[in-house]
């Protein structure tokens, strides 16, 4: 049961690499917080500072109100699941599970009992005398989880724990990890670059980019209310469409960019009035676009360029002036699949429009 | 098609020549083994006798001679200096692998250059030093000198093995509450067992084969097998049957060791850099 | 609570410090004691004139001067260099040839590969003994075959023209396998696709060698050259057992000369001077070798350290 607080955390590798910049974060007791970002964004470095493998250059790490910056990893009561699982090739599953307890000089009787318990809990009873090389990827992962759980840590750290599994197992393990964490209510930090994983698991997501925190929030907030261009583009599949242009007032307000124009609804027109004449980046998610069916406001009209059929929908690339706009459309909306070259009109509701400053990349609307 | 045949023929000829040379390289070994099984007269017969009734008399003579005592000395010196070197070497190799500090590259190079030190340069001061300490002709003297070579060798080869251990394994153990020393003894060291075996075997072979240091620092009690062989040659002159038998006996451990490390030869012979 | 943490931090720091000391101190102390002291001692010795039964007399660079004036010393240096260069040339050529042949994937090649490596694992002294038997002028097999082929028998170990070749043959026999080993290792690093692409392109053998093999062999060849020259310059065992340095000094190497000065003539100072001459030559080569061996891929300190 623990609260983790990061305060102005900074990490320099040598003199030239500023891996983590001014990270502030509060993770409440029992929360599962995902660090999300592309590789090299500083998420793993932040995790390693929490584990104690690297010492922050400046800033503080509080665990339950105590500064643990200088504490030895083994004194933090933190457990970790590594990307590679870090199972010892020279120990059997039983020995792996007992390994953390032996460090604390737990009586032998108790070790044996706890190993049995955890093996039962994770369905590992039949593999106790095997070596890691003799296990499947899924079993290895369960052993790694078991080794982390067995000493009842305050804080659970997971570094891309699912990345070594194949797609199906990954989805399965994702669900069981979530269930496990909710049952045990252990505060957890989970590092990943996979936003689907983040959306599915997290109570709270911290999006990182170039060492900086971009946004912290509930998964739904991150998705619906991205704080800036990076978060908007990183979260969501396929990524949000971005169009560069300016708002101009004619009969109504319209957005003009590279060989294209979008006439806006009057409601939107009013809201963007302060931005008129200024270059902005307009963002709209592929899943928020729908067939216009005669509507004339917020319409994107263009030629079908590529069609990717999915199981129940089409992902259509629409050639819109000099830009390409991706659109997700349900199959049942079409009598026959859209064909390249066909003209298509799609529209979006006012509330699904996002605007960003092209220079600061901050969200404007 | 014709070109293809020509190419194949050229390749076959090339291979045949090369394999022929390889076999020729084996010839001295075979010849010495044969000589060890011949009587004194048979050895001198020309053209050489390929088929003869082998005799074990040479081996019997050698087995009951001083040479066995010298071989025992050799094995003893090699084993002790290898053991000591592995202890020192694995600790320091791990140190250089995990806690590199500014200038540690230079120290590492200095250590490697010790392995290359010409024995003649080592022998002169040690001869004078051990003479004044009364350590001449002792096993200890040889062990001490061989440790210089073996420690520097072990540090280099073992560092390569330690570098290959994934850091996460050690981090996981640290997180579990093990101290750095415990991590070393319980995780890292068991993981480089194959590396320790390889290093040990190379140290053994190199110590067994050493001649100049042993020749200068020993006279009677602590004489090793190579020195013994050289003396045998001086005393026996042309009794090649017995000399060959002694050489064959001496070769056996080395050949067995070589078979053990055949896949790691490159590592052992080029200090772990070329793989 | 904060004091409790401080105590833990301090305990772990002490623990880590003790461990680091254990890692480095014993070894460094041993090596420094065992190497620095004797070497300094031997430099010192090389500045004195030792005559039996008298106090050593300081002569400064006298021993070196005496050495550099002596014809014998220059002859021996020349002999050592000649052995080194000749061996190097033959071993590299033969080693490349055999290396390429043994890299072919043919069943049974593994055995050949093991066999060829045996000579280099033997004691150089044993190799010398082998060839002393084979090169014997009356009953040696080499002469027997030479005569069969219509050549004249050669007094390998005593003829001034040929004695040095006895040494060279022995070294080539023992150490060509080492070159083969490095060449094989180098060839092993060539990606399979690259070899296949070359076969498909029907590139000429020379082009293939230059563009595909050579880049991968540069490192092994360089290493082989350096290792072999360092070892041959220090050569002692083979001439000691094979020719005893004779006839005259025609097969005496620097190491052998140093040894004889110490044990036959009891000229400790001169022997030390010679040994320092060898150390300096070898050291130049070792330094080149070390430049090449220096690891290019370094683990950043931060990724390794626990930060404690």
Q: Mutate which of C123, C181, C235, C256 to test chain B, going by most B C-beta atoms within 10 A? A: C123
Encode pLDDT of B54-90 as tens digits.
889 899 988 988 899 999 999 999 999 999 999 999 9
**C305 pLDDT higher than 50:** no
Q: Which of residues 149-208 of C touch B (CB under 8 A)?
A: 173, 176-178, 181-182, 184-186
Strand order in the sheet with A204-209: A78-81, A155-159, A187-192, A32-36, A204-209, A212-217
CA of C302 vs chain A CAs: smallest distance (Å) = 7
- Which among B171, B190, B191 has the least Cβ separation from residue A53? B171
Token digits of residue A335: 């009598």
Residue with tokens 């850099």: B273
Q: Cβ of A86 and B190 within 8 Å?
A: no
Measured CA to CA, the distance from residue B103 to residue B109 in angstroms comes to 10
Encode pLDDT of A60-101 as tens digits.
999 999 999 999 999 999 999 999 999 999 999 999 999 999
Q: Residue A12: what pLDDT?
A: 93
Do C167 and C244 touch, CB atoms closer than 8 A? no
Q: Residue B1: what pLDDT?
A: 57
Q: Residue C295: what pLDDT?
A: 55
Measured CA to CA, the distance from residue C243 to residue C264 in angstroms comes to 16
CA of A171 vs chain B CAs: smallest distance (Å) = 25
**A289 pLDDT higher than 90:** yes
Q: Is A104 on the interface with C (CB under 8 A)?
A: no
Strands A32-36 and A58-63 come out as: unpaired
**C301 pLDDT higher than 70:** no
Measured CA to CA, the distance from residue B21 to residue B15 in angstroms comes to 10
3-state secondary structure of A8: strand
Would you state the torsion angle of the CA atoms of residues B46, B50, B55, B60, taken in this order, to the nearest 10 degrees?
80
Q: Is A100 on the interface with B (CB under 8 A)?
A: yes
Do B150 and B207 touch, CB atoms closer than 8 A? yes
Encode pLDDT of C33-73 as tens digits.
888 888 888 888 888 887 766 778 888 888 888 888 889 99
Q: Is C235 on the interface with B (CB under 8 A)?
A: no
Q: Cβ of B94 and C305 within 8 Å?
A: no
Q: Residue C307: what pLDDT?
A: 29
Q: Is A300 on the interface with B (CB under 8 A)?
A: no
Q: Residue C308: what pLDDT?
A: 28
**A272 pLDDT higher than 80:** yes
Closest residue of B to A99, CA-based? Answer: B176
Encode pLDDT of C200-221 as tens digits.
666 677 777 777 788 888 888 8
Q: Is C52 exposed, middle or buried (0-12, 13-18, 19+ CB in 10 A)?
A: exposed
Encode pLDDT of A8-27 as tens digits.
999 999 888 999 999 999 99
pLDDT class of A34 with cuts at 50, 70, 90: very high
Token digits of residue A237: 């599949």
- Which among A66, A71, A73 has the least Cβ separation from residue C1? A66
Task: Give ∠ CA B38-B43-B46 in degrees, rounded to 5.
Answer: 135
Q: Residue C1: what pLDDT?
A: 56
Measured CA to CA, the distance from residue C75 to residue C160 in angstroms comes to 13
Residue C43 with chain B: CB contacts under 8 Å: none
Q: Cβ of A75 and B172 within 8 Å?
A: no
Phi, psi of C45 (to 5 degrees): -55, -40
Closest residue of A to B173, CA-based? Answer: A100
Strands A58-63 and A4-13 come out as: antiparallel
Would you state the torsion angle of the CA atoms of residues C172, C177, C178, C184, taken in this order, to the nearest 10 degrees?
140
Q: Residue A56: what pLDDT?
A: 95
Measured CA to CA, the distance from residue A181 to residue A32 in angstroms comes to 8
Residue A95 with chain B: CB contacts under 8 Å: none
CB atoms within 10 A of CB C107: 6
3-state secondary structure of A363: strand
Q: Residue C206: what pLDDT?
A: 78
**B166 pLDDT higher than 50:** yes
CA of C4 vs chain A CAs: smallest distance (Å) = 10
Q: Cβ of C141 and B233 within 8 Å?
A: no
Closest residue of B to A157, CA-based? Answer: B175
Encode pLDDT of B91-129 as tens digits.
999 999 998 888 888 888 888 888 888 898 888 889 988
B-contacting chains (≥3 CB pairs under 8 Å): A, C
Bridge partners (DSSP) of residue A243 are A282
- Which among B166, B174, B182 has the least Cβ separation from residue A73? B174
Residue C254 with chain B: CB contacts under 8 Å: 120
Bridge partners (DSSP) of residue A187 are A155
ipTM (interface pTM): 0.88
Q: Cβ of C118 and B244 within 8 Å?
A: no
Residue C302 with chain A: CB contacts under 8 Å: 13-14, 54
Q: Is A13 on the interface with C (CB under 8 A)?
A: yes
End-to-end CA distance of chain C: 20
Q: Residue B267: what pLDDT?
A: 74
CA of B69 vs chain C CAs: smallest distance (Å) = 18
Measured CA to CA, the distance from residue A101 to residue A278 in angstroms comes to 63
Q: What is the mean pLDDT of chain A?
A: 91
Q: Is A105 on the interface with B (CB under 8 A)?
A: no
Do B91 and C26 touch, CB atoms closer than 8 A? yes
Token digits of residue A11: 């990490």
Q: Residue C306: what pLDDT?
A: 30
Residue B169 with chain A: CB contacts under 8 Å: 86, 88
Closest residue of B to C29, CA-based? Answer: B88
Residue count of chain B, please give it. Answer: 275
A-contacting chains (≥3 CB pairs under 8 Å): B, C
Residues 6+ away with beta carbon under 8 Å from C149: none
Instruction: From A343, A342, A310, A303, select the one nearest A329 (Cα to Cα).
Output: A310
- Which among A14, A53, A67 has the least Cβ separation from residue C306? A53
Measured CA to CA, the distance from residue B176 to residue A82 in angstroms comes to 13
Q: Cβ of B179 and A74 within 8 Å?
A: yes
Q: Is the dihedral of CA C188, C189, C194, C198 positive or negative?
A: negative
pLDDT class of B271 with cuts at 50, 70, 90: low
Token digits of residue C152: 């004249």
Residue C9 with chain A: CB contacts under 8 Å: 70-72
Alpha-carbon distances, residue B33 vs A219, B248, C6 (angstroms): 79, 7, 70
Q: Residue B272: what pLDDT?
A: 56
**What is the count of residue pairs from A and C with beta carbons less than 8 Å apart?**
39
Q: Cβ of A67 and C2 within 8 Å?
A: yes
Q: Is C5 on the interface with A (CB under 8 A)?
A: yes
| DSSP-assigned letters across all residues of B101-131 | -TTHHHHHHHHHHHHTS-HHHHHHHHHHHHH
Measured CA to CA, the distance from residue A207 to residue A200 in angstroms comes to 15
Residue A70 with chain C: CB contacts under 8 Å: 5, 9, 308
Do C116 and B22 touch, CB atoms closer than 8 A? yes
Encode pLDDT of C223-280 as tens digits.
888 889 989 999 999 999 998 887 889 999 999 999 998 888 888 888 888 988 998 8
Q: Is A82 on the interface with C (CB under 8 A)?
A: no
In the predicted model, what is the mean pLDDT of residues B143-155? 94
Q: Mutate which of C31, C177, C200, C295 to test chain B, going by most B C-beta atoms within 10 A? A: C31
Bridge partners (DSSP) of residue A290 are A347
Q: Is A52 on the interface with B (CB under 8 A)?
A: yes
Most distant CA pair in chain C: distance in Å? 96
Residue C306 with chain A: CB contacts under 8 Å: 52-55, 72-73
Residue C274 with chain B: CB contacts under 8 Å: 120
Q: Residue C293: what pLDDT?
A: 66
Residue A67 with chain C: CB contacts under 8 Å: 2, 5
Bridge partners (DSSP) of residue A215 are A207
- Which among B174, B187, B191 has the least Cβ separation from residue A74? B174
pLDDT class of A111 with cuts at 50, 70, 90: very high
Q: Residue C294: what pLDDT?
A: 64
Encode pLDDT of B9-26 as tens digits.
888 888 888 888 888 899
Q: Is the dihedral of CA B191, B197, B199, B203 positive or negative?
A: positive
Encode pLDDT of C79-100 as tens digits.
999 999 999 999 999 999 888 8
Q: Is C7 on the interface with A (CB under 8 A)?
A: no
- Show the DSSP H helices in C1-123 as ranges: 2-31, 37-46, 62-69, 71-102, 109-121
Measured CA to CA, the distance from residue B56 to residue B49 in angstroms comes to 17
| DSSP-assigned letters across all residues of A300-343 | EEEEEEEEEE-SSEEEEEEEETTEEEEEEEEGGG-SS---TT-E
CA of B160 vs chain C CAs: smallest distance (Å) = 10
Q: Mutate which of A72, A73, A154 to test chain C, going by most C C-beta atoms within 10 A? A: A72
Q: Cβ of A13 and C305 within 8 Å?
A: no
More confident call, C307 vs C263: C263
Q: Is A8 on the interface with C (CB under 8 A)?
A: no
Q: Which of residues 142-171 of B touch A (CB under 8 A)?
A: 166, 168-169, 171
3-class SS letters over C67-93: HHHCHHHHHHHHHHHHHHHHHHHHHHH
Q: Mutate which of B98, B100, B164, B175 to test chain A, going by most A C-beta atoms within 10 A? A: B175
Residue A90 with chain B: CB contacts under 8 Å: 190-191, 193
């Amino acid at each position: 049961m623990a609260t983790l607080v990061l305060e102005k955390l900074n990490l320099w590798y040598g003199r030239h690499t500023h891996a983590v910049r001014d990270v502030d974060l509060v993770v409440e007791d029992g929360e599962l917080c995902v660090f999300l970002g592309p590789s090299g964004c500083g998420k793993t470095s932040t995790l390693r500072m929490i584990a104690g493998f690297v010492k922050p250059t400046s800033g503080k790490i509080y665990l339950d109100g105590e500064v643990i910056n200088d504490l030895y990893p083994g004194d933090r009561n933190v457990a970790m699941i590594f990307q590679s699982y870090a199972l010892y090739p020279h120990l059997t599953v039983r020995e792996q599970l007992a390994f953390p307890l032996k460090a604390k000089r737990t009586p032998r009787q108790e070790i044996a009992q706890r190993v049995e318990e955890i093996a039962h809990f994770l369905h590992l009873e039949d593999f106790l005398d095997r070596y890691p090389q003799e296990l499947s990827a899924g079993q290895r992962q369960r052993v790694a989880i078991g080794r982390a759980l067995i000493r009842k840590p305050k804080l659970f750290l997971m570094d891309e724990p699912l990345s070594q599994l194949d797609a199906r197992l990954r989805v399965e393990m994702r669900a069981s990890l979530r269930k496990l964490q909710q049952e045990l209510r252990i505060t957890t930090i989970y590092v990943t670059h996979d936003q689907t994983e983040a959306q599915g698991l997290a109570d709270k997501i911290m999006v990182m980019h170039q060492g900086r925190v971009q946004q912290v929030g509930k998964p739904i907030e991150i998705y619906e209310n991205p704080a800036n261009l990076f978060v908007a583009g990183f979260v969501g599949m396929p990524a949000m469409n971005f169009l560069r242009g300016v708002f101009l007032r004619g009969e109504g307000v319209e957005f003009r960019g590279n060989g294209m124009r979008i006439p806006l609804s009057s409601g939107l027109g009013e809201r963007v009035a302060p931005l008129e004449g200024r270059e902005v980046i307009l963002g709209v998610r592929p899943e928020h676009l729908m067939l216009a069916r005669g509507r004339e406001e917020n319409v994107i009209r263009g030629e079908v360029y590529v069609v990717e059929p999915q199981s129940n929908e089409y992902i259509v690339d629409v050639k819109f002036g000099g830009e390409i706009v991706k659109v997700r459309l349900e199959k049942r909306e079409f009598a026959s699949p859209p064909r390249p070259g066909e003209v298509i009109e799609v529209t979006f509701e006012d509330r699904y429009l996002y605007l960003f400053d092209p220079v600061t990349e901050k969200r404007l609307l | 098609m014709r070109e293809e045949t020509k190419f194949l023929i050229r390749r076959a000829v090339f291979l045949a020549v090369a394999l022929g040379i390889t076999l020729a390289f084996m010839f001295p070994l075979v010849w010495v083994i044969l000589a060890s099984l011949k009587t004194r007269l048979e050895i001198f017969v020309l053209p050489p006798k390929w088929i003869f009734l082998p005799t074990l008399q040479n081996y019997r003579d050698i087995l009951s001679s001083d040479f066995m005592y010298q071989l025992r000395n050799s094995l003893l010196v090699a084993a002790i200096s290898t053991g000591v070197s592995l202890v020192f070497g694995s600790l320091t190799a791990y140190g250089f692998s995990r806690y590199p500090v500014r200038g540690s590259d230079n120290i590492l190079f200095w250590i490697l250059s010790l392995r290359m030190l010409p024995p003649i340069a080592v022998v002169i001061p040690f001869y004078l030093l051990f003479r004044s300490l009364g350590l001449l002709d002792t096993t200890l003297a040889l062990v001490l000198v061989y440790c210089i070579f073996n420690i520097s060798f072990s540090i280099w080869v073992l560092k390569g093995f330690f570098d290959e251990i994934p850091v996460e394994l050690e981090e996981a153990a640290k997180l579990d509450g093990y101290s750095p020393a415990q991590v070393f003894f319980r995780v890292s060291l068991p993981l480089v067992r194959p590396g320790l075996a390889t290093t040990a075997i190379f140290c053994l072979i190199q110590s067994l084969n050493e001649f100049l240091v042993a020749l200068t620092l020993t006279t009677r009690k602590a004489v090793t097998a190579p020195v013994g062989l050289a003396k045998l040659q001086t005393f026996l002159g042309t009794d090649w049957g017995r000399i060959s038998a002694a050489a064959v006996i001496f070769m056996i451990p080395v050949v067995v060791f070589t078979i053990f490390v055949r896949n790691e030869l490159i590592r052992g012979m080029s200090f772990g850099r070329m793989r | 609570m904060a004091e409790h943490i401080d105590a833990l931090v301090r305990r772990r720091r002490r623990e880590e410090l003790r461990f680091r000391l254990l890692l480095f101190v014993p070894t460094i102390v041993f090596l420094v004691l065992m190497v620095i002291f004797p070497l300094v001692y031997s430099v010192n010795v090389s500045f004195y004139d030792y005559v039996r039964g008298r106090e050593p007399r300081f002569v400064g660079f006298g021993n070196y001067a005496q050495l550099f004036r002596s014809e014998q010393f220059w002859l021996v240096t020349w002999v050592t260099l000649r052995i080194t260069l000749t061996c190097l040339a033959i071993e590299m050529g033969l080693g490349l040839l055999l290396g390429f042949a043994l890299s072919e994937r043919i069943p049974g090649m593994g055995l050949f590969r093991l066999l060829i490596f045996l000579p280099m694992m033997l004691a150089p002294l044993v190799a010398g003994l082998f060839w002393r038997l084979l090169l014997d002028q009356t009953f040696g097999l080499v002469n027997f075959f030479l005569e069969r082929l219509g050549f004249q028998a050669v007094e390998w170990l005593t003829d001034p023209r040929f004695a040095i070749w006895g040494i060279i043959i022995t070294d080539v026999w023992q150490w060509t396998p080492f070159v083969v080993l490095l060449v094989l290792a180098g060839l092993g690093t060539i990606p399979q696709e690259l070899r296949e692409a070359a076969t498909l392109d029907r590139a000429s053998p020379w082009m293939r060698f230059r563009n595909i093999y050579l880049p991968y062999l540069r490192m092994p060849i360089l290493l082989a050259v350096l290792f072999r020259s360092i070892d041959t310059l220090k050569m002692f065992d083979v001439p000691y057992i094979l020719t005893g340095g004779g006839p005259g000094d025609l097969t005496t190497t620097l190491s052998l000369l140093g040894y004889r000065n110490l044990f036959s003539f009891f000229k400790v100072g001169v022997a030390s001077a010679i040994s320092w001459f060898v150390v300096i030559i070898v050291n130049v080569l070792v330094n080149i070798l070390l430049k090449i061996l220096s690891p290019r891929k370094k683990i950043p300190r931060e990724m390794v350290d626990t930060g404690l």
